[in-house]
Amino acid sequence: MKKFLIIGLGNIGSEYVNTRHNIGFKILDHFANQEKLSYNTVKLGDITEFKIKGRTLLFLKPNTYMNLSGKAIKYWMEKENIEKENILVITDDLNLPFGSIRIKPKGSDGGHNGLKSIQQILDTSEYPRFRFGISDEYKKGQQVNYVLGEWSDDEKEILKERLQVASEVIKSFALAGLNNTMNIFNGK
């Protein structure tokens, strides 16, 4: 059975639950709620499992805080013997319009502390990532407040549909592969 590690980046704690920076957690929670999956708190994170057509998807929400995400990812990759080609890191991206999707096989950290940690600990920037646009609609000097701020009412309404699309991205990654998933979902 082929295994995948799907990682949603975010920060633990109730004050972060509905923030833009926690979109990785929000996407995994949406998927889990749809499929009636329950998370277990284990070493370095919360984890649940989803099986589909001969594939096992492990969903990981690291509890290491964003800037130490690489530690949790490396631990679970080694524990479950999952190759980097079969991981998908879900993260927020300021450089993309709100709700847009960009899937890539590799890339820079773009100043994102979670991706910096992963790149440093895995010693590579070549791993699949799913970037979810949160836009850059903030005033100069307000980036941190914007990223750690909660969704606006308008964003919350649009987010319902975008979370559904994000769940489809995850299934496609496991069933159709990275290249097909990029062709289907990039820019949507």
33-67 pLDDT tens trace: 999 999 999 999 999 999 999 999 999 999 998 88
Cα gap 147→149, rounded to integer Å: 5
Q: What SS3 string covers 141-184? A: CCHHHHHCCECCHHHHHHHHHHHHHHHHHHHHHHHHCHHHHHHH
Catalytic residue among 8, 19, 21, 63: 21
pLDDT at 137: 81
Q: Which residues pair with 87 in a beta bridge?
A: 5
pLDDT at 59: 98
**What's the pLDDT band for 132 if we cut at 50, 70, 90?**
very high
Clarify whether 21 is annotated catalytic: yes
